[in-house]
Amino acid sequence: MYFVKTPKIAQSIIKKAVWNIPNNDRKIFLTFDDGPTPSITNRALDILKEYRIKATFFCLGKQVEENPLLFQRIIDEGHAVGNHSYSHLKGWTTKNEQYLEDVRKGEAIIKSNLFRPPYGKIKRSQVNLLNPQTKIILWDVLPGDFSPSNNVEKIISNTLEAVESGSIIVLHDNTICGKKMLDALPIIIDKLKEKKYTFSAITE
């Protein structure tokens, strides 16, 4: 089970994390997890370029190692990058030493102080062990592109129903749900633009 709109009580569990970025300008923040992935990330970048939108890509260190030119394209086109760990370990079921080693390995490759815990699951003890400069970025809108039960229309409606000014939206540029995400992305952007939302990358 997952929440499309993150409840306030869940946000209070990791108080050091950024769950949304409140503002009065109807500015929202598109983010992508798990890449860079050939064909999927490239197409997502094409769509963002077409709409002149900047986003934030939370990358896996192992994916960056395998696709350095694609990672460089993300940066060259003005998007922000963040660390999503090296190999996508789940904090709740991983010993602290192993988890922190994986996070730091990803950070050394990606070179960003932004960090999104894989699955959004991290122990408080792991949070406390992170570098003080690390900025944990979570979300308040999870459209569910990863769910086999969600089709493109459901991903779109989930996004539109949950978004508000300051929302951080999570999509995935991986091979599992990338096709659905790519089909939904331009429609999501069009619909949000109709509602007078603007888009921004997340800064360190």
Q: Which amino acid does the sequence have at 55?
A: A
Token code pair at residue 83: 């660390």
**Catalytic site residue 190?**
no
pLDDT reading at 13 higher than 80: no
pLDDT reading at 78 higher than 90: yes
8-199: in CATH 3.20.20.370: yes
**Whole-model pTM?**
0.97
**Catalytic site residue 33?**
yes
Percent of the chain having pLDDT more than 70? 100
Count of residues making up the chain: 204
Which one from 79, 84, 88, 172 is the annotated catalytic residue? 172
pLDDT tens string 134-189: 999 999 999 999 999 999 999 999 999 999 999 999 999 999 999 999 999 999 99
Whether cis (ω within 30° of 0) applies to the bond prior to 36 is yes
- Per the CB < 8 A criterion, the answer to whether 29 and 164 are in contact is no
Token code pair at residue 195: 């509602």
Write 142-148 long-range contacts (CB < 8 A, 24+): 142/2, 142/3, 142/4, 142/5, 142/6, 142/170, 143/4, 143/169, 143/170, 143/171, 143/184, 143/188, 144/2, 144/4, 145/171, 145/172, 145/177, 145/180, 145/181, 145/184, 146/172, 146/176, 146/177, 147/2
pLDDT tens string 107-140: 999 999 999 999 999 999 999 999 999 999 999 9
Which one from 33, 102, 145, 173 is the annotated catalytic residue? 33
Kindly list the domain boundaries of the chain, sorted by start residue: 8-199
Return the pLDDT at 9: 81
Alpha-helix residue ranges (DSSP H) falling in the chain: 8-11, 40-51, 61-66, 68-76, 96-110, 124-129, 152-162, 178-194
